[in-house]
Amino acid sequence: MTHRGRIVSAVALTTLTLGLTACNDSDDTSSAQDSPSASAPAPSDPGSKSPSADPGDDAAAPAGGDVTAPGTKLKIGDRAVLPFKYGTDKKGTVAVTVTAIEKGAEADMAAFGSKAKGMTPYYIRMKVENVGGTDLSYASLRLRGKLEGGGPTGVILVGDLPGKCDSETAPRDFTTKGVSYETCSLSATKTGPVAVASFEEGASYSGNPVVWTS
């Protein structure tokens, strides 16, 4: 199932419209609150009705193993074990393996209209595994794209490009240890290439993320 969300351009301080809602990201720009917004449509699949991941609180400790420490630097293909909280009642431990950071074509952004002109999309592909064995069904996990060296892209995307980068929610049976699924986080830039995928959820990781570099 595909999760649709919202999109903000912090470079142009404008919102790319595809029936999505603007949000502010203090890491990328201090004046993004000036961006206009558009209302998002109601989601159509059951997974997208779940609340978004809560970055303000760490998840439960993992069952049978240590988590990857905040600030850890990994390579594409490496596996990180991470505490995860989704909404108010889903907590657990997941393993995330970034399998690729793929460059798309500017034409792929055409669905977002003229405000996307000059933006190059990047597709962060990953495998997510339930390590703790808790119920994380329909949860959604997102990684943020960064420039080489870890700088912000200046463009914040929450959503997907169907057929190019599908942001999937966890399946219904994502409730037991060992179950996994694949998903994609969409990033974009008008400047340098996206070369880093960053996990920033939870109090311990928001300022000291786990990163994968290409």
Higher pLDDT, 61 or 184: 184
Residue 40 has what pLDDT? Answer: 33
Q: What share of the chain is helix, strand, coil (3-state, %, to 5)?
A: 10, 35, 55
pLDDT value of residue 56: 41
pLDDT band at 41 (very low <50, low <70, confident <90, very high): very low
Element (H, E) at 91: strand 90-103
Q: Residue 65 pLDDT more than 60?
A: no
What pLDDT was estimated at residue 23?
36
pLDDT at 88: 87
What tens digit of pLDDT does each residue of 126-184 get? Answer: 999 999 999 999 999 999 999 998 999 998 776 689 999 999 999 999 999 999 999 99
pLDDT (tens digit per residue) in 83-95:
999 998 999 999 9
pLDDT digits (tens, 9 = 90+) for 96-124: 999 999 999 999 998 787 888 899 999 99
Looking at residue 80, the DSSP 8-state letter turns out to be E
Residue 143 zone, left/alpha/beta (φ > 0; ψ -120 to 50; rest): beta
Which DSSP state fits 105?
A: -
Answer whether residue 77 shows pLDDT above 80.
yes
Beta strand pairing call for 155-158 and 90-103: unpaired
Q: Tell whether the model's pLDDT for residue 11 goes beyond 80.
A: no
Cβ atoms of residues 100 and 123 within 8 Å: yes
Structure confidence at residue 114 (pLDDT): 83
As a whole number, mean pLDDT of residues 3-17 equals 42
Q: According to the model, what pLDDT value does residue 6 have?
A: 45
Percent with pLDDT over 70 in the chain: 69
> So what's the pLDDT on residue 92?
96
How far apart, in whole angstroms, are the C-alpha atoms of residue 56 and residue 98?
Answer: 23
